[in-house]
Structure 1
């Protein structure tokens, strides 16, 4: 019995998968910063940036997570930059760790001062003890210090009137050396205290801004004390949820049930609370009301609850497909990896590098990883919104049969009517839920026919691509061709849709057209000059709008993006009005916006810069039908009334005819005819 308890204690104290993942990422960031600070001349000041990841670890996790990251980062830095790199990582870990722990415990500068004095005293005593044993090293250090003091004194003696001061310097230094242990200890206290206070002053301000960003959609870690996992059936009664600092409920009041073994579709407009419902089903406690379950939620545990999110690249941790399937499972858990991969359509890919998978394949890998935990409840949160039509079809094929093949419930959150139709039951959250009718659902559309490239509208050529090709990793064994022989023209006021499957080269082409990437061959011209020499003239809106919003408030974001003073309220109002947003939204926090509002805020900041053209990467992803129509209406008005040139990269085609009369189809890096209806609806991505 005693042995079992000791074993459990050790297991409880070991690093959990989430802690290990965060330690690895933060160690890599700190090590990279330390290596740059040591290797690049005059870049030592950059080492202060390495304290940020270490400070975040110390603030959010246990001390042993920080220690693991420190050891890993120091080893990496030592192998590349020598002892200087390793010591830089250790210094960053000390300053970041001290700041993070003090912040976490709600203390301030006095605590840092006391802790740094203690640390300095310990460091000084350790150094004095080492020098007492290493006599030759002590002699060498003291002779070096004496030579420096003597040289400085001789320089001062050449200055009239400073001869007595120079002699006093020699005598005082000789006296201090006779009490060298006290000198070493005092120097340790002074240096450590100074570094600690400076690091605290700088890092606490950085962390203060990071902590001020509410992580409202963070999944709560499972409570070790919760009862054994048994999440379904779940009964929600008069449930409400309000995020901290918000002035209104994000969800409810609503009542609904999730039955054992059912496939339930959750639909609703943007902002109706779908993601909030997902968080509560995954363990977040409601602000009001009750959620009754037979047992615990068991998030991420075997037999508990598993969640698959909408961004494929954010949920894959293993570098090998087979490793990612079992990532985070308890030691000794038996998993038939080949069977799971075959079930999700990834048969034969167990040894593949996850970095080479398409978006649809990454999502199916995430489903396999979830199934490896044999969950009783699987939540799929808009998992098809970021993948192409083939990937979407493959995912729906996998999800549609899960409840029949496994003893589990599936909650599928979606905007697409064909996905909701495949469920046993649908709950629409529009108007606080309760309705079984789907309103404002997004319809799938066939791939539009590709336009003849030469038949572009009459007008002044704006963007010209001539023989554009691009190869990643040129001259290395890992060289990969993304584009070949791309030729087309985009005229003033044109609307162009670029379509292609994942991996076809669309994003690379978008970056080249925006001037952010220089093509390996050929040229991309804006008004007859290389677009790479005019960065900013062609604006680009990324697929994940939230990642492009860098400020905490809407008006600050728009002003920063457009380059004007945010105190000029009239410009903020004009920018918001341009994309159909109310002026009062300017004072809202970014994290309080819906997905559609975030996209419009990005668009407002970009358009306020008056670009020559704008590129929109998947502008409709994750939006309900009403939000899609609203955004498209704004873009169509801008193109019609202001002559804005628009290039859209999208997997969604419904409703884009008015904005983009031309279509260009990419296939394996070359311009090709649009796929036939038969080929565009089958297979995986």
Structure 2
């Protein structure tokens, strides 16, 4: 299921003294099966854009195409429930949305709301717990007795239980330690690759973009200022610095090496690419010296 924005604009509280234009002339496409990263400063419009992905808000200008559904300012709010099932959003600190007395009840809440039988709901609970790296022993535990990382996994399982085809992640690793961050990102990458989920990641961590995303959208002041494959977006380091955006660690280090005379065919994006490039450079220098 592709998602397309066509000349989308959005204004909060239009026609009032408090109106605020959050998005202007947004044109983009999130292709089915892609792993798309959305980056930009606080206030650039990322969160507002995310809410358009499953019609939590409707554009005040233009249209959003979600699969075969077209959302315009005039779209009836009563007929949008199915979109919320297809596009699941994991907000920052999703564990704050847990409310049931057991893990199983919390995960099953969404599916049962859509008419799934109790028996099928229990199957979904077991399946989604496995997806997020937890076993059945957690089913009858209180979510509020778990660690922060475990609570977050349960909250994500609740979104996955709706069996979405698009998973939207708003800073999903916020507040986690480095190991917890890595485990969470690897889990999303596994879901993307093994289950074919379309993933949309909002992050300010450019290493995460370089390591996982296949497409990047850069927002500034509510509009798209650059988009493309990570290699193309990160190729212009000076542009990124001018925009006060981060640069992947491996790319920044490679640029410093290049400034000292090390010649790369192209600047590496990831640590693996950097290690391979340096190995090839060393092998070439060793061959020349013989």
**Scaled by the length of structure 2, what TM-score is found?**
0.71
SS of equivalent residue, structure 1 residue 536: helix
Query: How many angstroms apart in 2 are the aligned matches of 1:600 and 1:546?
Result: 8
**How far 1:635 moved relative to its partner?**
1.1
Distance 1:570 1:476, change over 3 A: closer
Distance 1:566 1:605, change over 3 A: farther
Query: How many angstroms apart in 1 are the aligned matches of 2:47 and 2:11?
Result: 13
User: Is the 1:494–1:646 contact (alpha carbons within 8 Å) kept by the matching residues of 2?
Assistant: yes
Query: How many angstroms apart in 2 are the aligned matches of 1:601 and 1:566?
Result: 19
2:104 to 555, 562, 572: 555
Distance 1:605 1:565, change over 3 A: farther
**How far 1:581 moved relative to its partner?**
1.2
What is the aligned partner in structure 2 of residue 677 from structure 1?
Answer: 241
User: Is the 1:553–1:586 contact (alpha carbons within 8 Å) kept by the matching residues of 2?
Assistant: yes
What is the aligned partner in structure 2 of residue 542 from structure 1?
Answer: 91
Query: How many angstroms apart in 2 are the aligned matches of 1:600 and 1:469?
Result: 34
Distance 1:681 1:483, change over 3 A: closer
User: Is the 2:54–2:66 contact (alpha carbons within 8 Å) kept by the matching residues of 1?
Assistant: no
Distance 1:566 1:528, change over 3 A: closer
Residue pairs, 1:569-580, within 5 angstroms: 569-580=122-133
Residue pairs, 1:134-533, within 5 angstroms: 462-530=2-70, 533=80
RMSD between aligned residues: 2.1
**Scaled by the length of structure 1, what TM-score is found?**
0.31
The gaps in structure 2 that reach 5 residues or longer are 72-76, 227-232, 234-238, 247-290
Distance 1:611 1:508, change over 3 A: same
**How far 1:657 moved relative to its partner?**
3.1
SS of equivalent residue, structure 1 residue 487: strand
Residue pairs, 1:66-145, within 5 angstroms: none
Query: How many angstroms apart in 2 are the aligned matches of 1:558 and 1:569?
Result: 9
Moved over 6 A (4+): none
User: Is the 2:108–2:122 contact (alpha carbons within 8 Å) kept by the matching residues of 1?
Assistant: no
Query: How many angstroms apart in 1 are the aligned matches of 2:90 and 2:44?
Result: 19
1:433-456 Cα deviation digits (max 9, x unpaired):
xxxxxxxxxxxxxxxxxxxxxxxx
Aligned residues between the structures: 222
What is the aligned partner in structure 2 of residue 592 from structure 1?
Answer: 145
1:623 to 148, 170, 176: 176
Distance 1:475 1:626, change over 3 A: same
- More relative contact order, 1 or 2 (CA 8 Å, 6+ apart): 2
Query: How many angstroms apart in 2 are the aligned matches of 1:478 and 1:655?
Result: 36
Query: How many angstroms apart in 1 are the aligned matches of 2:240 and 2:131?
Result: 38
Distance 1:502 1:491, change over 3 A: same
**How far 1:574 moved relative to its partner?**
1.1
What is the aligned partner in structure 1 of residue 155 from structure 2?
Answer: 602
SS of equivalent residue, structure 1 residue 680: coil
User: Is the 1:514–1:615 contact (alpha carbons within 8 Å) kept by the matching residues of 2?
Assistant: no
Query: How many angstroms apart in 2 are the aligned matches of 1:518 and 1:618?
Result: 22
**How far 1:472 moved relative to its partner?**
0.8
**How far 1:679 moved relative to its partner?**
5.0
User: Is the 1:505–1:666 contact (alpha carbons within 8 Å) kept by the matching residues of 2?
Assistant: yes
**How far 1:654 moved relative to its partner?**
2.8
**How far 1:497 moved relative to its partner?**
0.7
1:207-262 Cα deviation digits (max 9, x unpaired):
xxxxxxxxxxxxxxxxxxxxxxxxxxxxxxxxxxxxxxxxxxxxxxxxxxxxxxxx
Query: How many angstroms apart in 2 are the aligned matches of 1:640 and 1:657?
Result: 16
User: Is the 1:620–1:652 contact (alpha carbons within 8 Å) kept by the matching residues of 2?
Assistant: no
